[in-house]
């Protein structure tokens, strides 16, 4: 192989390194397999057999990346959890519609392949898949010299899940007086990092410096992996009627909650009904931002929302607490007034 690949290696593509990576990650990938997987890593495509659990199965798919949080992972030389972010951004999205993730695929592109670095990233992806209860069915590693600088890489993820047609959650049944429940995030998750990096640069702090009042270093707070809510929400769905769900990603509260609301209603969120983690206070103060601006960009401590009928809201919160989730009733659904925004946030005096 070495002689046959010499010309390609001279051009910057190391086939041997690619094969070495496959060998390194094979056991990690196999550790995510469930009964539906009927192929092994290394084929042209991954094979997954549906088990017939749904009467009328509908496949739900999502693709995403982790944005410029990758740049911080590179700057801090910490690549062990960025793969969890990648999985979370995809599986949380399909979860919103009530889908159980079945499998995940990744795309890893770099200028010059470092087997150690790539293996660390894939290990994180495998951890995320285990947390989401889905198989890492396959992926692609692309070595692209001259396109990416050495040491830099990009990631994309692809997830497919399944839901019974009769159980799709689309928000259409949401009505006046329904309750909004917020489940806490682990930090900024994977959104707003272009602004976070700008704020960090202005602060002069390094990765090992503490962020005031957080009890965490810069790297610990800003690289905290995105929460994966799959197992929690699937547990809830077995016993409770969930009318709508929201994954708080890019666009914060204002551009995500309205995606599930019928036109005639509005969500009224009460800022202060949950404790905002100190890292967001630090970002706001360092960036000179208002709380409305923060809620347009960041999750501000709420990574996932549920809309349920008022008579079950407290029971849902109690179940979430039993599942070791921090959850709060943060708002209600009201009639939407003419010309009003579909997502309104009320702030206590002096909060802005």
Give the mean pLDDT of 264-288: 96
- The share of the chain scoring above pLDDT 90, in percent, equals 78
Per-residue pLDDT at 175 exceeds 50: yes
123/80 Cα distance (integer angstroms): 7
* Short-list 267, 258, 246, 322, CA closest to 92: 246
- Tell whether 125 and 229 lie within a shared domain: no
pLDDT for position 52:
73
Residue 37 is assigned to a structural domain of this protein: yes
The mean predicted confidence, pLDDT, of the chain is: 92
State how many domains the chain has: 2
pLDDT for position 238:
95
Give the mean pLDDT of 131-148: 93
300/187 Cα distance (integer angstroms): 8
Domain membership of residue 261 as a residue range: 179-346
Alpha helices in the chain (DSSP H): 6-10, 15-30, 69-75, 82-95, 115-132, 193-203, 218-222, 230-239, 278-287, 291-297, 313-322
Per-residue pLDDT at 1 exceeds 50: no
pLDDT for position 40:
77
* Short-list 157, 160, 95, 100, CA closest to 133: 100
Query: Does the pTM of the predicted model rise above 0.85?
Result: yes
- 221, two tokens: 């707070």
Give the mean pLDDT of 206-223: 94
- Tell whether 147 and 189 lie within a shared domain: no
Q: Which tens digit of pLDDT belongs to each residue from 76-89? A: 999 999 999 999 99
* Short-list 108, 112, 105, 141, CA closest to 126: 105
- Tell whether 16 and 158 lie within a shared domain: yes
- Tell whether 42 and 185 lie within a shared domain: no
- 327, two tokens: 């959850």
Residue 311 is assigned to a structural domain of this protein: yes
- Tell whether 264 and 310 lie within a shared domain: yes
Position 4 confidence tier, pLDDT thresholds 50, 70, 90: confident
- 33-42, 64-73, 122-131, 250-259: range with lowest mean pLDDT: 33-42
Contacts for 116 with CB less than 8 Å, ≥ 6 apart: none
pLDDT for position 257:
97
Query: Which is more confidently placed, 161 or 14?
Result: 161
Contacts for 324 with CB less than 8 Å, ≥ 6 apart: none
- Tell whether 132 and 188 lie within a shared domain: no
pLDDT for position 8:
64
Cα 149 versus chain centre, distance? 26
pLDDT for position 350:
55
pLDDT for position 184:
97
286/265 Cα distance (integer angstroms): 36
Contacts for 204 with CB less than 8 Å, ≥ 6 apart: none
- Tell whether 116 and 202 lie within a shared domain: no
- 195, two tokens: 């602004």
Give the mean pLDDT of 285-308: 97
The CATH number covering residue 58 comes to 3.30.1330.10
Per-residue pLDDT at 303 exceeds 90: yes
pLDDT for position 256:
96
pLDDT for position 3:
67
- Tell whether 149 and 73 lie within a shared domain: yes
- Tell whether 159 and 183 lie within a shared domain: no
Q: Which tens digit of pLDDT belongs to each residue from 5-62? A: 777 677 677 777 777 777 777 777 787 888 888 877 777 888 888 887 788 999 999 9
Q: Which domain-ending residue is among 167, 194, 216?
A: 167
Q: Which tens digit of pLDDT belongs to each residue from 331-344? A: 999 999 988 899 99
Position 351 confidence tier, pLDDT thresholds 50, 70, 90: low
- Tell whether 234 and 110 lie within a shared domain: no
Residue 41 is assigned to a structural domain of this protein: yes
């Amino acid at each position: 192989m070495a002689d046959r690949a010499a010309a390609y290696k001279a051009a910057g593509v190391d086939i041997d390194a690619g094969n070495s990576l496959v060998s390194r990650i094979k056991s990690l990938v196999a550790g995510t397999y469930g009964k539906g997987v009927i192929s092994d890593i290394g084929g042209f495509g991954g094979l997954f057999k549906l088990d017939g659990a749904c009467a009328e199965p509908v496949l739900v798919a999502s693709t995403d990346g982790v944005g410029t949080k990758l740049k911080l992972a590179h700057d801090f030389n910490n690549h062990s959890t960025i793969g969890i972010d990648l999985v979370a951004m995809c599986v949380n999205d399909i979860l919103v519609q009530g889908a159980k993730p079945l499998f995940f695929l990744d795309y890893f592109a770099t200028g010059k392949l470092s087997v150690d670095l790539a293996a660390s990233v894939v290990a994180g992806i495998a951890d995320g898949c285990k947390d989401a209860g889905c198989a890492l069915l396959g992926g692609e590693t692309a070595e692209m010299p001259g396109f990416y600088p050495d040491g830099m890489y990009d990631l994309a993820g692809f997830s497919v899940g399944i839901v019974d047609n009769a159980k799709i959650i689309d928000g259409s049944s949401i009505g006046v007086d329904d309750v909004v429940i917020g489940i806490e995030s682990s930090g900024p998750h994977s959104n707003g990092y272009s602004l976070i990096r700008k704020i960090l640069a202005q602060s002069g702090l390094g990765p090992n410096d503490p962020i005031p009042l957080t009890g965490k270093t810069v790297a610990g707070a800003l690289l905290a992996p995105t929460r994966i809510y799959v197992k929690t929400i699937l547990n809830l769905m077995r016993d409770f009627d969930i009318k709508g769900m929201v994954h708080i990603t890019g666009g914060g509260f204002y551009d995500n909650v309205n995606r599930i609301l019928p036109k005639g209603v509005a969500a009224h969120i009460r800022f202060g009904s949950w404790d905002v983690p100190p890292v967001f206070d630090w970002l706001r103060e360092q960036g000179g931002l208002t709380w409305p601006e923060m809620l347009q960009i960041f999750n501000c401590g709420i990574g996932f929302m549920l809309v349920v009928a008022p008579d079950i809201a407290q029971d849902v919160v109690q179940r979430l607490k039993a599942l070791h989730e921090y959850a709060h009733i943060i708002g209600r659904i009201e009639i939407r007034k003419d010309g009003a925004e579909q997502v309104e946030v009320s702030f206590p005096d002096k909060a802005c």
